[in-house]
Amino acid sequence: LEDGVRSNGYPCDEVYYLDWMATEIQYSTMNTLKQNKKVGQTDGQAQKIVAAITSAVAQFAQGENAFIAPGIWTGDTIMRLHKGDAMPTGYLIQIVSMADQTQTDREKRKAPPIYVCLKLSGAIESAVINVIVNR
């Protein structure tokens, strides 16, 4: 047996699930933009996009092959998420306020940056089992 690791050292299942999740996020976001006649450049309207992303990401935190799991954030600070913060769902989606958006981006009708922070569940690939017998 060989470990499921790519040549760059990343586990194959992580690459697969991250690619799949990115696709689901893209589809959900595009469907939201298509289904709404207009998504206004307001914080409230931008929550439609955040909700679409949340829906896409949430499916990876459920079921038998849960890719995302609750845990403690150990990465760098990203907006309101700090090292040591609990992530009860295994993910946090944050969007920069419209008030902080540049005029150039507003005129280009861009959404402000959206951050999808994930806590991966990991996978067990080996185990040490001790059997202790006493008479």
Cβ contact 106:125 at 8 Å: no
Q: What is the DSSP letter of 100?
A: G
Mean pLDDT in order along the chain per 10 residues (135 residues): 69 88 96 93 95 96 87 97 97 96 94 96 88 95
The predicted pLDDT at position 105 comes to 94
**3-state class (DSSP) for residue 18:** helix
pLDDT at 1: 45
**What's residue 15's pLDDT?**
87
- Residue 113: the pLDDT is 95
Contacts 24+ apart (CB under 8 A), 120-127: 120/14, 120/67, 120/68, 120/69, 120/90, 121/66, 121/67, 121/68, 121/69, 121/90, 122/69, 123/11, 123/13, 125/3, 125/4
Which pLDDT score is estimated for 124?
Answer: 82
Q: Please enumerate, as own/partner, the contacts of 7-11 that have beta carbons within 8 Å and a separation of 24 or more.
A: 11/123
The pLDDT of residue 2? 56
Q: What local confidence, expressed as pLDDT, does residue 52 receive? A: 97
Distances in Å between the Cα of 101 and the Cα atoms of 29, 41, 42, 95, 105 are 19, 10, 11, 11, 7
